[in-house]
Amino acid sequence: MDYSFTEMPARILALHAQDIPPCGGDTLFTNLEAAYEGLDDETKGTDRWVVRKS
């Protein structure tokens, strides 16, 4: 578990693959702060909610 839902999540995350598919299955990381900054002001002004489930 990465604890990204906590008030102070870890700054570093380590992954260890135990079962790797023959193709695909790539791990991708996204900077959501940069994605938000790229939004237009109208979209930033709307309320959005996300439900996170593990």
Predicted confidence (pLDDT) per residue in 3-54, tens digit: 777 888 888 878 788 888 888 877 788 898 999 999 999 999 888 788 877 6
pTM of the predicted model, to two decimals?
0.44
User: What pLDDT is attached to residue 9?
Assistant: 82
User: What pLDDT is attached to residue 37?
Assistant: 94
User: What pLDDT is attached to residue 35?
Assistant: 92
What token pair was written down for 8? 């102070």
User: What pLDDT is attached to residue 8?
Assistant: 84
What token pair was written down for 27? 């791990």
